[in-house]
Amino acid sequence: SGTTRPVRILKYVQRCANSGDVLSVISAIDAYCSKVEWAMNVGDEKGAILDAVVLETRPRYVLELGTYCGYSTLRIAHLLAPGARLITLEMNPHYAQVAIEMFRHAGLDAQVELLVGSSSALIPQLRKKLDIEKFDLVFIDHWKVSYLPDTKLLEECGLLKAGSVLLADNVTCPGAPDYLQYVRNSPRYQSQYFPARLEYLQVEDGVEKSVFLG
């Protein structure tokens, strides 16, 4: 039985990226996935949009839905102020283990709190479990069919406040049409689309930034 794609990415990073250097880890993942084998990281073009939203939001509490190898987790963690908290949810224990090793190589494992489980099971537990009232920024990049139900769950659990920012990957490819329709038509959101290419490919994608209005 061979390795998995996340393990091959991790091994490449451990071999080629300087440990403790998060930017070299990020560029090593992008190098591997653009030259050797594609993987569903947000990538460097959409990643730059994510960076800009993190910098403008200056979030204290961040939630990520879908860790995978931890690429976007690292991009976010790198830009957070001391004392900020980044929670990332991953339901696949193997992916979670790879991501933890990725965070260790980048020297950011102390900056990230990874919870293993499905978002629908974990989101209702976050307030009690983590003593967090509201999230300032949510990066949504897990199953595309879960974007809308999980957004409604975040609202119902009182985890969003006026000004909370949702940033959703892949709203064009693979697409999250029900989510888009909701955030673009609900009076409770101010939504904006940022077109970009799908990671490592010449295919059209985009991210949607939606500000919760309370």
| Interface residue list for ligand OZZ (CB under 6 A) | 40, 66, 68, 89-92, 95, 118-119, 141-143, 146, 169-170, 173-174, 198-199
Q: Which is nearer to Mg ion, 10 or 196 (CB)?
A: 196
Task: Count the helices and strands in the chain (H runs, E runs).
Answer: 9, 7
Question: Catalytic site residue 170?
Answer: yes
Closest CA to 157 of 119, 209, 195, 208: 119
CB of 142 to Mg ion, least distance (A): 8
User: How does DSSP classify residue 198?
Assistant: P
Residue 141 among the catalytic residues:
yes
Single out the catalytic residue among 101, 136, 169, 208.
Answer: 169
Least distance (Å) between residue 119 CB and ligand OZZ: 4
Count CB atoms within 10 A of the CB of residue 163: 12
Our answer to whether residue 144 is catalytic in this structure is yes
Nearest Cα residue to 72 out of 57, 91, 94, 53 = 53
Q: Dihedral (C-alpha) 102, 9, 78, 166: value to the nearest 10 degrees?
A: -110
Is 169 tagged catalytic? Answer: yes
- Could you tell me the smallest distance in angstroms from the CB atom of residue 123 to ligand OZZ? 9
For Mg ion, which is the closer residue by CB, 76 or 127?
Answer: 76
68 contact choice in Mg ion, ligand OZZ, none (CB below 5 to 8 Å, kind-dependent): ligand OZZ
Closest C-alpha to 5, from 107, 121, 76, 92 = 92
Contact call for residues 199 and 43 (beta carbons, < 8 A)? yes
Catalytic residue among 64, 90, 101, 199: 199
Give which of ligand OZZ, Mg ion, none residue 66 binds (C-beta under 5 to 8 Å, depending on kind). ligand OZZ
Nearest one of 96, 68, 69, 90 to 11, comparing CA atoms: 69
Q: Which does 5 bind (CB under 5 to 8 A by kind): ligand OZZ, Mg ion, none?
A: none
Q: Is 109 a catalytic residue?
A: no
Shortest distance, CB of residue 202 to ligand OZZ, whole angstroms?
12
* Residue placing its CB nearer to ligand OZZ in the complex, 87 or 214: 87
What distance, in Å, lies between the first and last C-alpha atoms of the chain?
50
- Residues known to be catalytic: 141, 144, 169-170, 199
